[in-house]
């Protein structure tokens, strides 16, 4: 009897051990009881009732990536090109994911392809090539809303490649080359323009500096001449003041006046206007010289004989 009980205990332990399940982190197990949904196991240790319960599906809650193959898409202006997408999603409800749709990944792929065709069909070629962000955001919103009933949360959609037809690619390359050539020509023209402006500015500055230099030189010369005249006149005035302070008589002053008149008469086409008092002084001086004999160049008593000219007849 004791042996039978021991055997039953061992069998029970073996059965229990065989039905113990450990659910890992970031995973869920969907449990069915007699073919009907029973519960969802989260991470941890669980014991399954043998024969009655079974694990219908093991779900991972990690974010997953679905890389769709290139899909032929026709734009609004009837250009067919190949576009492949990358969809990032995660499962937030294991029960809906298990019973919502058959083969959820395949359903998501087909939904992605049809949504992409609908969005790109409303755009032209240029708009498709330049509106990646718009297409990504629209697809994310539409797919996320449509997959909520499948227990799927679409977090992000990216257009991986956009491949237009070969003739469109050739035309785009020619257009890009023409644009680059245009920019190069424009840059060269701007460079020549800037160089011409710089040269003109340089010539202008050089002329301005030359004019300023000539002006400064003239000012310096004029200032020098004015200072020289001022110093000369100041010296003459100082000389007269010194003569007055030395007590010279009127005769000496009259002599100075004559010297000044002689200096003024130097040169051609000189006309002198002598005041009456100067003429009277000269006359008085002449009378004084004749009376006293002072100032004569010939000694008294000796008159200068006129030079005898040779007679061409007799000599």
Tens digits of residue pLDDT in 221-231: 888 888 888 88
Where residue 96 falls among pLDDT bands split at 50, 70, 90?
Answer: very high
Q: What is the mean pLDDT of residues 281-300?
A: 48
Same domain flag for 55 and 72: no
The per-residue pLDDT for 19 is: 82
Which of 17, 37, 60 delimits the end of a domain? Answer: 60
Where residue 236 falls among pLDDT bands split at 50, 70, 90?
Answer: confident
The per-residue pLDDT for 242 is: 75
In a domain, 14, yes or no: yes
Same domain flag for 86 and 118: yes
Instruction: Tell whether the model's pLDDT for residue 112 goes beyond 60.
Output: yes
The per-residue pLDDT for 292 is: 46
In a domain, 6, yes or no: yes
In a domain, 103, yes or no: yes
Same domain flag for 27 and 97: no
Which of 11, 28, 60 delimits the end of a domain? Answer: 60
Instruction: Tell whether the model's pLDDT for residue 85 goes beyond 80.
Output: yes
In a domain, 41, yes or no: yes
Where residue 47 falls among pLDDT bands split at 50, 70, 90?
Answer: confident
Instruction: Tell whether the model's pLDDT for residue 276 goes beyond 60.
Output: no
State the total domains in the chain.
2
In a domain, 92, yes or no: yes
Where residue 260 falls among pLDDT bands split at 50, 70, 90?
Answer: low
d(CA 297, CA 311): 30
Same domain flag for 91 and 156: yes
Same domain flag for 114 and 144: yes
Where residue 116 falls among pLDDT bands split at 50, 70, 90?
Answer: very high
CB atoms within 10 A of CB 111: 19
The per-residue pLDDT for 288 is: 44
- Give CA angle at 38 (34, 42), nearest 5°: 135
For the chain, give the mean pLDDT.
Answer: 80
The per-residue pLDDT for 296 is: 47
The per-residue pLDDT for 302 is: 46
Q: What is the mean pLDDT of residues 200-204?
A: 89
Same domain flag for 53 and 133: no
Instruction: Tell whether the model's pLDDT for residue 65 goes beyond 90.
Output: yes
Q: Which residue has the higher pLDDT, 281 or 199?
A: 199
Same domain flag for 109 and 138: yes
In a domain, 83, yes or no: yes
* Percent over 70 (pLDDT), the chain: 77
Instruction: Tell whether the model's pLDDT for residue 154 goes beyond 70.
Output: yes
Q: Which residue has the higher pLDDT, 147 or 239?
A: 147
What are the structure tokens assigned to 238, written together? Answer: 């100082």
Q: What is the mean pLDDT of residues 30-46?
A: 90
Which residues span the domain enclosing 31?
2-60
Q: Give this prediction's pTM.
A: 0.54
Same domain flag for 85 and 9: no
Reported for 64-71, long-range contacts at CB under 8 A and 24+ positions apart, including other chains, are 64/88, 64/89, 64/90, 64/91, 66/105, 66/108, 66/109, 66/112, 67/160, 68/109, 68/112, 68/113, 70/161, 70/163, 71/113, 71/116, 71/117
d(CA 144, CA 158): 14
In a domain, 184, yes or no: no
Which of 15, 35, 60 delimits the end of a domain? Answer: 60
Least confident of 8-17, 94-103, 136-145: 8-17
Instruction: Tell whether the model's pLDDT for residue 190 goes beyond 60.
Output: yes
How many angstroms separate the Cα of 144 from the Cα of each of 46, 89, 92, 141? 32, 9, 12, 5
């Amino acid at each position: 009897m004791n042996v039978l009980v021991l055997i039953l205990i061992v069998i029970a332990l073996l059965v229990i051990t065989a039905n113990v399940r450990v659910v890992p982190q970031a995973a869920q197990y969907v449990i069915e009881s007699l073919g009907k949904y029973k519960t969802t196991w989260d991470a941890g240790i669980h014991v399954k009732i043998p024969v009655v319960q079974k694990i219908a599906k093991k779900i991972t809650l990690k974010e997953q990536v679905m890389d769709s193959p290139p899909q032929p898409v026709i734009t609004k202006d009837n250009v067919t090109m190949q576009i492949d997408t990358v969809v990032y999603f995660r499962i937030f409800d294991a029960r809906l994911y298990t019973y919502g749709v058959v083969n959820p990944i395949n359903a998501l792929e087909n939904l992605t392809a049809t949504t992409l065709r609908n969005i790109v069909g409303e755009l032209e070629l240029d708009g498709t090539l330049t509106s990646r962000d718009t297409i990504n955001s629209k697809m994310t919103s539409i797919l996320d809303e449509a997959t909520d009933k499948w227990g799927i949360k679409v977090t992000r959609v990216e257009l991986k490649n956009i491949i237009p037809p070969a003739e469109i690619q050739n035309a785009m390359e020619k257009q890009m080359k023409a644009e680059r050539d245009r920019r190069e020509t424009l840059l060269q023209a701007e460079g020549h323009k800037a160089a011409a402006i710089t040269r003109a500015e340089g010539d202008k500055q050089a002329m301005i500096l030359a004019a300023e230099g000539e002006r400064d030189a003239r000012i310096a010369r004029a200032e020098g001449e004015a200072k020289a005249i001022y110093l000369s006149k100041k010296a003459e005035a100082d000389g007269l003041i010194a003569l007055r302070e030395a007590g010279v008589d009127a005769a000496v002053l009259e002599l100075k006046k004559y010297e000044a008149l002689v200096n003024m008469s130097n040169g051609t086409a000189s006309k002198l206007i002598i005041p009456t008092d100067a003429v009277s002084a000269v006359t008085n001086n002449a009378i004084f010289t004749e009376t006293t004999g002072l100032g004569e160049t010939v000694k008294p008593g000796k008159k200068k004989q006129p030079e005898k000219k040779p007679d061409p007849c007799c000599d």
